[in-house]
Copies of this chain bind each other. A is one copy, B any other.
């Protein structure tokens, strides 16, 4: 017979009962306490540590906890088995403060100057006046409406779904046989297919009244939504929110692991992203004073994992060799099928992906970046966990992804964090004293270091000799900041008394190694790809950087660490969220939708893990900036200059 144990949480009056063998994280969840598990419950991130005040537990792993922490009773909730009645304290976790898009911080977006909804917009609205039925004409309502659609809108064939069919009779009578209908022509992928009747309203809707659609980008970290009036093509509201799935895994791999544990977990992940979308949807709709049900179409971009999790499609095969998705080209769906809280009959169009790690965010991004029409060679980079890269011109496109890992997003780094309030976002190190200065988001005491801060810190440490080209600490420097810590050598960026957390914020040699791996993977990715198609990197005429993280990267520092190639800065361009922008164009114009389809179809995917040269390139890039200094002439020159200065008499 299975025992059950009682777990009481500090500050929560009701204890919970769990069967023996349960994990502490099960009990936390049962108690309804929110606890982030950025690594998806793999015991790797150390974020779910809780304090066991009394009672018996068995720790499977205490990775990332110090010996003192364990002695004090800290345990990783996801790795600790309950073996008796417990009293537990859950410490507050990092609070996410918003540094996300609102209308005030939104980018200015304009529809194409020649936007003509009558020719390119697949959503159409018609006001129809029908002859009422009589004893001489007992035609049924639906056939009567079809006749009007044929005669007044020129539509010979129209499909209808059951929910709309149920409403036709009442709408016709309420409108005294005048109704306004909304149709989705769906012509881009099926020119001969019938249009779909998605809404019917009694009476007349003035032709200029907005017709609403949304473009959505589901990022691993952030969900962004643009609310668009399809009549004018204008973006009327923008909203972003952290993807609520974050608490179940910081990167896509962790999320796949979490979602694949049980059908319930998969459903939970689907619900979490839908909840996030509904949050931003409500906020955007609130700003223009409409109800979400008035939105008649959604175009969605996002990486392949996000797309699978949104649709409740098992994603396990994405992370297992040979790394295939269940689907790249998702058929058009209805909002009610997807569970998306816009008009239930609205079409939900998920943009196509190319491979497990090159998703619709990239195909949409390539379209939005304009590279697919450029004559010269373009390198398109998404500097994130998956390091998606596209190289090409209007004539050809190749793409690859490298598992850079989430180090630049703050995970896998001891004091790494997302780019929110309290994050160190830029660091400068005095070359003579090795003393740092730093800038913190929000101007408060620091809690950790975000991606741009890590790039900056790594570059400064390297350029000032705190670390050498292999990432090893220089223990000969006369500074207390380089020291032997719990996890080996580390550099202290902020002393405990300066910090919010009251502990020293340091970067360890393990962190440096993780960052080197991440940048090496990305750099190796695009170099191997460019070599495999015979295009030398210096033939690249422009480097376009997508993704919202990209916006905050300092090109100089990124080149110094060898993350970005060494080329004139004017060739770099930061495009921001190209994924939502691509979705927006696809929402406006069926030709854009068709182009994104073609981009996905014609992009050649290169699997780096199958490429023998990738490992060599990766190992060569594991140095700062690279084993081959000739690839980074500017950095080589700068280092020489620094060395000269430092060797100057009197210093």
Please report A residues at the B interface, Cβ cutoff 8 Å.
Answer: 133-143, 159-162, 165-166, 168-170, 173, 192-193, 311-314, 316-317, 321-331, 333, 337-338, 355-356, 605, 607, 609-610
In Å, the complex CA distance between A312 and B331 comes to 27
Q: Are B314 and A166 in contact (CB under 8 A)?
A: yes
CB distance from A318 to the nearest CB of B (A): 10
User: A316 to chain B: which residues have CB within 8 Å?
Assistant: 169
Q: A165-B313, A337-B162 are in contact. Are A135 and B327 (CB under 8 A)?
A: no
- A138-B326 contact in complex given A311-B165, A331-B160, A337-B162, C-beta closer than 8 Å: no
Q: Closest approach, in angstroms, between the C-beta of A312 and any C-beta of chain B?
A: 6
Structural contact, A324 and B141, CB atoms closer than 8 A: yes
Closest 6 pairs between A and B when the two form their complex, measured CB to CB: A142-B327, A135-B610, A169-B326, A140-B325, A140-B328, A133-B324
A142 to chain B, nearest CB (A): 4
Q: Which of A313, A324, A609 has the most CB of B within 10 A?
A: A324
Closest approach, in angstroms, between the C-beta of A164 and any C-beta of chain B?
10
Interface centre among A137, A138, A193 (most CB of B within 10 A): A138
What would be 26 A-B contacts, judged by CB atoms less than 8 Å apart?
A135-B321, A135-B322, A135-B323, A138-B323, A138-B356, A138-B605, A139-B324, A140-B328, A140-B329, A141-B325, A141-B326, A142-B326, A142-B327, A159-B331, A160-B331, A161-B331, A161-B337, A162-B311, A165-B330, A165-B331, A166-B312, A166-B313, A166-B326, A169-B314, A169-B317, A193-B193
Least Cβ distance of A339 to chain B in Å? Answer: 10
- Assuming the A-B contacts A327-B165, A333-B162, are A138 and B607 also in contact, with contact meaning beta carbons closer than 8 angstroms in the complex? yes
Asked if A607 contacts B192 (CB within 8 A), the reply is no
CB-CB under 8 A from A173, the residues of chain B are: 317
What residues on B are CB-neighbors of A312 within 8 Å? Answer: 162, 166
- Whether the Cβ atoms of B338 and A162 lie closer than 8 Å is yes
Question: Measured between C-beta atoms, what is the minimum distance from A612 to chain B in Å?
Answer: 12
Query: Is B138 touching A322 in the complex (CB atoms < 8 A)?
Result: yes
Using A141-B317, A141-B324, A142-B329 as known contacts, say yes or no to A311 and B135 having CB atoms under 8 A apart.
no
Whole-angstrom distance between the alpha carbons of A563 and B448 in the complex? 93
Pair B140/A326 contact, Cβ less than 8 Å: yes
**Residue from the list B166, B325, B609 in contact with A311, Cβ < 8 A:** B166
Interchain CA distance A328-B159 in the complex, whole Å:
14
